[in-house]
Structure 1
Amino acid sequence: MANRVYVVGVGMTKFDKPGSREDGDYPRLAKEAGTKALDDAGVSYREVEQAYVGYVYGESTSGQRAVYELGMTGIPVVNVNNNCSTGSTALYLAAEAIRGGRSDCVLALGFEKMRPGSLGTTYDDREQPMMRHIQALCELYDPVFPPAPWMFGAAGREHMERYGSTAEHFAKIGEKNHRHSANNPYSQFQDVYTLEDILNSREIYSPLTKLQCSPTSDGSAAAILVSEAYVERHGLAGKSVEIVGQSMTTDNESTFDGTAKNIIGYDMNVRASRAVYEQSGLGPEDFGVIELHDCFSANELLLYEALGLCGEGEAPKLIDAGETTYGGKWVVNPSGGLISKGHPLGATGLAQCAELTWQLRGTAAARQVDGLDAALQHNIGLGGAAVVTAYQRAER
């Protein structure tokens, strides 16, 4: 029987425009987030038995260099890279170490120091890992550079063609997430925009405008995960949040079934979320707060359906009814999400974990959603991996 896993400490830096912090090199970002997580847990770094450190852009063993800012204790440090799901992959691996009984106290840390502008490639002398996905989508929609907004925007167009969603539905998601981020001191952007502002901002790839797209960001986030025995030994139940379900899925043949939505991971998301619902005994209706991967507003809309908040083709009704913001059935991305909080790739999944931990503890300040029993996290990286995690307060 697998050991139970608890989050007892979280921390993160403010997410910022690349290069805007004078002290913004990755070791200092990692030190800030890691120290906050350790202090939050009341744990010394010497008690940490393993570390999983995620980043996408960086040299080999950057993970070691990052955690050496916290201490040099000789523990295993594993470098993790899984595209945009890197942070949640580090979280998943840390939880696996607890579940398997190999450790009682594990650090999951993610960071990114990015370059401004659209994401690019590092190595041009070999096939790119997304090439098969791009070629498959080229058969459906004419390619446009940069590829990321084209890929997610194409999935949005497909939804419009099949189900009648409109540009306004996607823009409403951008408006919501920017509005939510105004209450998040860690958010890269804290500006509130009208729906007209969102619709009239620069078009990136229709239906996506600039204010519906996540930016490049610098930042770091971290979590301390421990076993049930550790919680009891150190009296940490009051601050603990339990991971009651967690699943990682990767591409299978359905990714290339001739639909744009599966090329960007829809089927992966369905399989990961259903596995978590089965593990936890919870369903979509049980999660008052959801932090999900809104790299583009089109992905958030599709995720309403993939995660089972509604049936296929019904996301526009959910949006029009205001069911995914304060006062609705769910508060989706109270942090502002990737669109407004920012998206330093290696840190995103762990920042989601931090937000949900604060929400379940009741310490999310102006963002707090009242009466929470459970929260859901979704993070995806194309090429591909989807990670879904369900949390409950430990006293449950």
Structure 2
Amino acid sequence: MVNRVFVVGVGMTKFEKPGRRTNEDGSAWDYPDMAREAGTKALTDAGISYDQVEQGYVGYVYGESTAGQRALYELGMTGIPVVNVNNNCSTGSTALYLAAQAIRGGLADCTIALGFEKMQPGSLGSTYDDRAQPMERHILALAEISEVLFPPAPWMFGAAGREHMQRYGTTAEQFAKIGLKNHKHSVNNPYAQFQDEYTLDEILDSRMIYDPLTKLQCSPTSDGSGAAILASAAFVDRHGLAERAVEIVGQAMTTDFASTFDGTCRSIIGYDMNVHAAQRVYDQAGLGADDFQVIELHDCFSANELLLYEALGLCAEGEAGKLVDSGDTTYGGRWVVNPSGGLISKGHPLGATGLAQCAELTWQLRGDADKRQVAGVTAALQHNIGLGGAAVVTAYQRADR
């Protein structure tokens, strides 16, 4: 028997530029502070106490072993199992996946997924240089078909963008329109790191990172935390939570296939992982791309968002540029993609990103997204990816649908 899984509480901090925020006493805003804020908000939102939580899954990429325990101890010390999770940029969604899996398999009735990140300013780098790098194969494979640039992230996604331009005639302006959209969406998100709106020319004229990606089409490093409380149907019924509960009606995680190294840039950055994860979720949920009204997806760079339109089935292969031009991915269009501002503008604290996406979609389904609210939301889709690699896709509907 597979148990149903519900999101009954969500919470997050505002995402901040690394090192910018301090506590009221002037001390540095550290990851336990972030976790306490996000976790407390999630528990309050659910209307339960921490001693009702039976398992915890805590995601972070940069940090010492058992930082997950240290983070959750801010909420209580009840002796529950706490699992530390690291899956690169998909870490937050991986924690969510594991917390849901415990309920789905009947191992717990209530779990918490929490993610945080305290990052260093600037481009991402490796922590250990005395051992093999996890993405070594990906980087070497891309180096065979593309010029090499460091840091690797903008190079890898930028190369995939260039490949799409060469194959399908996609333009630099179409990539820039994705940055334009997401910055515009973030104006109404008080949790976003950036809340500035730009013109298309300002997006195009900002500093070039790796052609066609300018600075305003790239996600920043960020500090922040997000959390979600998950529960079984029995727990929801017992505590009268159905009115505000959101059901996870489909969820899948994939890792690299042999086709990752098929000689194309898009495969190296996870295209096949995304396709397979999305299809599994559609099959589980009995829904297709057209059945969703709002989507939070992994726009670490505008090029990735564009490629995801095709991988998630929003349009046919090669048609993503036309989809951008149609206006069908913003308010008034077929879908609203990244109403939060996405990673590009909301920020990207790696361990928290997937849980912030979950929070945004939960608010959208409840009708609690304030100025960001999408009209008539009945189903929501989430996508989160980490190179090296893992992709997590999740579909949500209201419990009382």
Same-fold call, TM cutoff 0.5: yes
1:323-362 Cα distance to aligned partner (Å, 9 max, x none): 0000000000000000000000000000000000000000
State the partner residue of 1:83: 88
Runs (4+) of structure 1 exceeding 6 A deviation are none
State the partner residue of 2:170: 165
- 3-state secondary structure, aligned to 1:238: coil
1:9-20 superposed matches below 5 A: 9-20=9-20
Match status 1:284 vs 2:289: yes
Question: Which residue identity does 1:133 align to in structure 2?
Answer: H
State the partner residue of 1:308: 313
CA distance, structure 1, for counterparts of residue 80 and residue 325 of structure 2: 51
Question: Which residue identity does 2:249 align to in structure 1?
Answer: V
Question: Which residue identity does 2:86 align to in structure 1?
Answer: N
Match status 1:130 vs 2:135: yes
Counterpart selection for 1:74 from 62, 75, 79: 79
State the partner residue of 1:394: 399
Question: Which residue identity does 2:120 align to in structure 1?
Answer: R
CA distance, structure 2, for counterparts of residue 78 and residue 67 of structure 1: 11
CA distance, structure 2, for counterparts of residue 53 and residue 180 of structure 1: 28
Question: Which residue identity does 1:6 align to in structure 2?
Answer: F
Unaligned runs of 5+ in 1: none
Question: Which residue identity does 1:4 align to in structure 2?
Answer: R
State the partner residue of 2:150: 145
Counterpart selection for 1:256 from 261, 279, 287: 261
CA distance, structure 2, for counterparts of residue 320 and residue 56 of structure 1: 36
State the partner residue of 2:7: 7
State the partner residue of 1:237: 242
CA distance, structure 1, for counterparts of residue 58 and residue 316 of structure 2: 36
CA distance, structure 1, for counterparts of residue 230 and residue 354 of structure 2: 14
CA distance, structure 1, for counterparts of residue 174 and residue 151 of structure 2: 23
Counterpart selection for 2:219 from 210, 214, 220: 214
State the partner residue of 1:34: 39
State the partner residue of 2:117: 112
Question: Which residue identity does 1:378 align to in structure 2?
Answer: H
Following TM superposition, by how much is the alpha carbon of 1:392 offset from its aligned partner in structure 2, in angstroms?
0.1
Following TM superposition, by how much is the alpha carbon of 1:22 offset from its aligned partner in structure 2, in angstroms?
1.0
1:240-261 Cα distance to aligned partner (Å, 9 max, x none): 0000000000001000000000
CA distance, structure 2, for counterparts of residue 302 and residue 175 of structure 1: 17
- Normalising by the residue count of structure 1, what TM-score does the alignment of the two structures yield? 1.00
- 3-state secondary structure, aligned to 2:243: helix
Match status 1:358 vs 2:339: no
CA distance, structure 1, for counterparts of residue 70 and residue 233 of structure 2: 30
Question: Which residue identity does 2:234 align to in structure 1?
Answer: A
Question: Which residue identity does 1:7 align to in structure 2?
Answer: V
State the partner residue of 1:275: 280
Following TM superposition, by how much is the alpha carbon of 1:374 offset from its aligned partner in structure 2, in angstroms?
0.1
CA distance, structure 1, for counterparts of residue 276 and residue 48 of structure 2: 35
CA distance, structure 2, for counterparts of residue 267 and residue 228 of structure 1: 33
CA distance, structure 1, for counterparts of residue 135 and residue 255 of structure 2: 13
Question: Which residue identity does 1:17 align to in structure 2?
Answer: K
Question: Which residue identity does 1:95 align to in structure 2?
Answer: A
1:297-344 Cα distance to aligned partner (Å, 9 max, x none): 000000000000001000011111100000000000000000000000
CA distance, structure 1, for counterparts of residue 306 and residue 371 of structure 2: 25
State the partner residue of 1:44: 49
CA distance, structure 1, for counterparts of residue 333 and residue 270 of structure 2: 26
1:71-128 Cα distance to aligned partner (Å, 9 max, x none): 0000000000000000000000000000000000000000000000000111000110
Question: Which residue identity does 1:220 align to in structure 2?
Answer: S
Identity %: 79
Query: In the comparison of the two structures, how many residue pairs are matched?
Result: 396
Question: Which residue identity does 1:18 align to in structure 2?
Answer: P
State the partner residue of 1:371: 376
Match status 1:22 vs 2:27: no
CA distance, structure 2, for counterparts of residue 356 and residue 19 of structure 1: 28
| RMSD across aligned positions (CA) | 0.4
CA distance, structure 1, for counterparts of residue 38 and residue 359 of structure 2: 11
